[in-house]
Amino acid sequence: MKKEIWEWTKAIVIALVIAFLLRTYIFATSVVEGASMDPTLENGERVIFNKAIYLLDTPDRGDIVIIQHPNKNYVKRVIGLPNETIEVKENKLYVNGDPREESYLTSSELDGTGSFGPIEIPEGQYFVMGDNRSISKDSRNGLGMIEEDEIIGRSEIVIYPFGNISMTR
């Protein structure tokens, strides 16, 4: 009986240590607040994000990232990379003068982008926007450029509500 209790205790302790390590260094969850990422991510959805990915790599255009700010975390899409010049003319994104397709957006979300720029993105910083361009607080209007160390992970999976379980990329 004592041996069985000892075996169960070891198994539970090992499981807790593994869960702690995964949660601390590899994966975590975040809740989407607001409608700035509609229709890709909706208000109240819970996503799992990969915390380790950017230890080995850098964010890429189109990645949905979690941005850590002092008062709250933001979920946004990377639009511009370090040392690029971005501009939007009549709702069309241009990177270094070349037009870019944003296949993840419908025409109604594109209509909210407006026009701005050209903007040069400094080394070590990123330009982010929400998918619901007309209401998103992002690099255009409040968040400013995002430092690389403020990006704490890449969104991977919607896990709640259960009916919405899906990959976010």
Kindly state the tokens that stand for 49. 């994000």
Q: Is 108 a catalytic residue?
A: no
Catalytic-role residue among 30, 36, 136, 139: 36
Q: Is 76 a catalytic residue?
A: yes
Catalytic-role residue among 51, 76, 139, 155: 76
Residues with a known catalytic role: 36, 76
